[in-house]
Structure formats: C-alpha cells, structure tokens
Structure 1
C-alpha cells in the first residue's frame, strides 16, 4: 500500500516521488507522481505535484540524489495536480531554470475557466452540480497553488530540435548536454510533453497513459496512441529501460514495458469497437445512456488509468462519441448525438454543372 510522498529509488541518483488519487467526496486532491534526478551537477525535477506534504517529499528526494549546484524544473503539462509546487525551483537557493509548455500557460493562469469548459461538455451526462460550481469545488482542492516562479519560461522560447533516439524521431528540447530530453507528445492535453533521462534510461510518460481514451477537452486520441507506440519501440530497442508515469504509482522495467503499452493500445481498439456497437443506430444517441454503458464496457475490458470515477468516464465517453464522428443535434444538456448527413449541399437550380469542369488542354 503506497502513501503520498513515498519514495521509490530507481538508482542512486533517480527517485520517483509517489502521489495519490483524487477523492472529491473527501476533499482530497489527486497528486501526480514526480521524478527527481541528478544529471551531473544539475538537479532535475519533473513535475512538482501539490500539497505541502508532497513539497517536503520532493525536498527529501532532492537530498538523496545530491550533491547538485543548480536546478532544472520540467513541467510536463499544466494540470493542477502537476504544477502547484513549481515555485520550489526558486526556493532551493541555487541557480534555477523552469520550463512549461506554451499551449498550457492559459490553463495554468486560469484553471477555473479550463475546468468549466471541460465540465460543461458533460452537463446532463452524469450527475454533477452546474459546471461553474463543480469546477470551483474541484480547483479549490489544489492548494496552495504556485505554478510560476521567477525563472519560469516556455519551452517554445528555445529553438525546437529534432531528437533521434534509436530509430525513433521526435521533436522537442534537450538539456544538460543531451542527458535530458523533453519530447513533444500533446495527447493528454494541448501542451503535454514526456521526458527521457538518457543516462539512467528512464522514460517518464506522465499522463499520456491515463486510460484508453483521453478525457480532457483538449485531448487528442491519435497523439496519445502514437506516443504509446513510439515509447514501446524505445523499450524494444533498448533505448529506454524504466517506465514511470503520473498516476499508476509503479516503476516498470525492461521487457514488461512494451506489453504493458501494447495493452493500453489494445484497450483503445477494443473500447472503440464497443462504442461502435453502442452507436450502431447512428442517431438519437443520448450521451447519458451511452456514458453508462460505455463505463460498463470500459470496466469489462479491465480499463484503468488515473482517477477512475464517473466524472472522468463521462468525459471520456463524450470524447469517444466525437471520435466516432457523431455530433450533438442541439445545444441542450444531454441532447441526442448523431452522424452528420454525408450529402454535399445542393448548389441550387441556377448552378452551371460545367462551371468547375476542366477545359480541354488545361491542367485540371
């Protein structure tokens, strides 16, 4: 049984600091796992979680991997369970750098608006207060919230690099003489990155492995699945040896990693097939009814991921409907969804059918 702030030593200079799951009913925020690593004289922090207890655990981990004379904080994405202690980089009394993804700066500055937008999509789909009230109650759990510091900059202020690891090519940014690679993934949310620590072989997936279907309004299912496949290849080629992530509270090593990632991809395929069966009628699909049956299918497939609860299942279900090409028929809460008619608009009786036809001798 793990507890908030437990430390898992990966090697003598790398520690995973364990977070906790979300429990809204008991007023408990989720806290993302964080990595603490020393690359030469640089202390590398990958995310900082939330709560003062987790902040203390980060400091303890930093003491274990020392000595170091400067700090590099890498934020994988802007969700509050990953960023609340970011000012720690400036509190360690050494030269510091801190980078965040530019597409996530808006939600980091105004998490309430981000969550209102996310929860408004499931109004009427699952029992929740009004989106504004639900978002306010959720974001209030993450205190104290200090996502920025004096040294915070966007990754995108640095020149973008093409980074090759084995046979796999990424774009992103390298630090500490290439010992730390930040790779763009952008699946779980708009700015998401993953982190590869070259010398210890750790690949930190952060939240790209959170279930078979992304839940957030700015999630991209294709990017999630693409990065899972790319990371599996790194392990098959021996370019990475240890997998960590934001929420499963586990360290996976060597040959177990690729089958684990394949399992996530298999879940995505099976869940899409189940969703097709639930929407076979093609029209009049009520999201509330779909979300209930979708949740049953997800549980039947052994679906997991971070913070399994009805709210996130409903968010995944709405994303799955859109992924299948369905669209709401109106703006009402729990309005039916259907597939748009595949019919090109009638140009009208006065249209010239030859107007767009290629002329003889043209290149058309």
Structure 2
C-alpha cells in the first residue's frame, strides 16, 4: 500500500502524488491523488488533496518539475478529499512573487462552501436503506476528518467565468476550457458529481479521470450514471486513438499505460455497470414494492458478484449506490418515511 504523499514520477515534468483510503473508524480521511505538471513555464496542480502531509508532498513535487514562473491550480470537483489545500495557489504566488490562478467548477460551489449540508443531504437519502448513523451527526462527523479545509484562494474563479470552448481531441469532441496555450485541457464530464471535470495533459499524454472511474455506479446524490458511462467511453476512445497514453485517477494507486492497460479497465467499468443493472432487475422484479433494507443486502451481493469495487467501499457508500440504482430503474419511495417501500409509479391512471 502506498504511503500518503508518495510520488510517482511520470516524466521529468510530471508527478502523480498519491493519496490514501478513507478509514472513518481510525479518523483517517481519504485523500484524492493529485497531478503536478509543468506546461512550459506554468506549474499546474490538478487537485490538492487534503492534510498538511499531502500539502508538503505537493510542494516537493513542484520543486521536482521546475522551473516555473506562474501557478495554475485546477479543481476536478468539490469533494473535500480533493480541495483541502487549494489555498496553495495564494501561498506560492506570495512566496515566489509569481502570478497564480485557481479554477473550480461552478456547480460545485455550494458543496465547497457548506460541505456539512451537502453530506447531510447525501446521507438523508439513504435513511432506511441500512442501519446507518443519524445523517445530522454523520455528515459533519465525516467532514471534520478533512483538515485543513481551505477550498478557496484569493485568486479562485470558476471555470464558467471563461468562455466555453469546443475542444477536439482526435475524433472526439468535448466542451471545456484550455490553459497554457492549449497544453492543458479541462473537459466537462459531470458524472461523479454535478461539476466534475477531467484533465488531459496534451504534451505528456496523461488523462486524469479523477473520480469518474470510482466504480460501476455513482454514489453521490448529484451523480449522473449516463454521464459517468459516457465519459468512460470517450476516454477509452482517446486511448485507442493514441491521443492519451497514460491513465491516472483520483483513488487507485496505479498508472495504466497505453490502450492495452487503460481500455480494459474502462471497458470493465462499463461491463460492471451493465451487469449490475441486470442483476438489480432480478432483485426488484417486474411488480411489487421493494423493501429498502432487504434490497440493500441483495444489492451488495449483486455488486460483489459483478466485481464492483471503487474507491472507499463501505456500507454507507454502498447504500448510496443502492438508492441511485433504484432511481435509475424508475423506482421511487412510496412515502417520505425512512424505510418506506419503493415501487414504480403506474404508467397509466388505474394501472
């Protein structure tokens, strides 16, 4: 197992800084992996993780890829394991007397400003799905693990304040934003959560998937299963065409080099998504209500049978995925009471 802050050199100007897994019982936050890259004279951070240990590792990586004369911090999405050290943009700008820029996705601003409320809402959705803590307690308790939590810098702006660009990479077309004379491409995907982006470093061929590859089913309340799957397919094409040569992500501590490694991983996630939905159809049946607690247990079995894993597997995230899978199949709770049965609404009055 990699140690928090361990670095993997990709080339002389690109480093992947490794995070760690979540362990709530030990009071250990998960920390998303981050990329540190030099594009010309621009020092680029793709996410900043959290904890002082990780911050120090980012600074060491910045020294390793230099020299640089400006700083660019790019946030892939607003979850606390990816944004805790974002004020590093200000720190480096002041220390070295260089210009700095920090961009975040506008749809994630609310959760970044008030992460407690975001996670309370996430946990409220799964009341009755499994024996879980009170959401009003569990949300702030989880967020409290992520210290220091500094998601904004004085130089922070949203991506959406820049003109949206149509970006062509090989035969694929995306919308997003480019930086450093086109060497850094921020591509909108918005699957794992509402504002999610992925980042393509043109000159070294790195494609950073961040958390779009966190499993066959998104867990977050603002996840979009179709967008996750679309992003996985689009990234697989970039590797097949040689437009990307190295796949990195937010939570697996490995480099997937070339199409022969990246494409089977991406196809495997898509295969798991299809297999999971088929398995869940067998669990829910064509008629009759679904009892949430019973469904979660059977969902866990189906998830394991598909080879599902993803980042930070635990009972809470599994229940969150179960809720999203029920909604994906068109089921809704019959009342607002925790533990209320889920069923499909009639297609026609009187059905």
TM range (shorter): over 0.9
Q: How does 1:97-116 map to 2 (within 5 A)?
A: 97-116=101-120
2:23 aligned partner:
23
Aligned length: 346
Partner of 2:63: 63
SS in 2 for 1:341: coil
| Greater C-alpha Rg | 1
* Segments ≥4 residues shifted beyond 6 Å: none
Other structure's SS at 2:347 match: coil
- 1:204 is aligned, of 162, 183, 208, to 208
1:268-287 alignment runs, 5 A limit:
268-287=273-292
Pairing of 1:211-250 with structure 2 (within 5 A): 211-250=215-254
Structure 2 CA distance for aligned equivalents of residues 150 and 272 of structure 1: 44
Q: What is the deviation of 1:124?
A: 2.0
TM-score if structure 2 supplies the norm length? Answer: 0.97
Q: Give the Cα separation in 1 of the matches to 2:288 and 2:337.
A: 16
TM-score by length of 1: 0.94
2:331 aligned to which of 301, 309, 326? 326
Q: 1:121 aligns with which of 111, 121, 125?
A: 125
Once residues 122 and 52 of structure 1 are traced to their aligned partners in structure 2, the CA distance between those partners, rounded to angstroms, is: 32
The 1:345/1:277 distance shift into structure 2, 3 A limit, reads closer
Q: CA RMSD in A?
A: 1.0
Displacement of 1:288? 1.4
Q: Distance in 2 between the 1:272 and 1:260 partners? A: 19
What is the CA deviation profile of residues 63-93 of structure 1, one whole-angstrom value per residue up to 9, with x for unaligned ones?
1100111100000000000000000011113
Give, in whole Å, the separation in 1 of the partners of 2:99 and 2:263.
38
Q: Does 1:339 align with 2:344?
A: yes
In the aligned structure 2, how far is the partner of 1:280 from the partner of 1:341?
A: 15
Deviation of 1:345 (Å): 7.9
- The aligned residue for residue 42 of structure 1 is 42
Unmatched segments (≥5 aa) in structure 2? none
Aligned equivalents of 1:185, 1:272: Cα separation in 2: 22
Distance in 2 of aligned mates of 1:34 and 1:126: 33
Distance in 1 between the 2:63 and 2:350 partners?
Answer: 66
Instruction: Give the match for residue 192 of structure 1.
Output: 196
Give the Å deviation of 1:296. 1.3
Please tell me whether the aligned partners of residues 160 and 173 of structure 1 are also in contact (alpha carbons under 8 angstroms). yes
State how far apart, in whole Å, the 1-side matches of 2:224 and 2:152 are.
26
Q: Distance in 1 between matches of 2:344 and 2:170?
A: 42
176, 183, 196: which is aligned to 2:180?
176
**In the TM superposition, what is the alpha-carbon distance from 1:299 to its structure 2 partner?**
1.2
**1:283/1:336 contact within 8 Å kept:** no
Instruction: Describe how 1:302-317 pairs up with structure 2 within 5 A.
Output: 302-317=307-322
Aligned-pair CA distance for 1:334: 1.2
For residue 281 of structure 1, report the CA deviation from its aligned partner: 4.5
Q: For the Cα contact (< 8 Å) 1:13–1:65, is it kept in 2?
A: yes
- How far apart are the structure 1 equivalents of 2:287 and 2:75? 41
Task: Select between 299-308 and 110-119 the one with higher mean Cα deviation.
Answer: 299-308
Distance 2:346 2:222 in 1: 26
Aligned to 2:80: 80
Matched, 1:265 2:277: no
Deviation at 1:282, TM superposition (A): 2.8
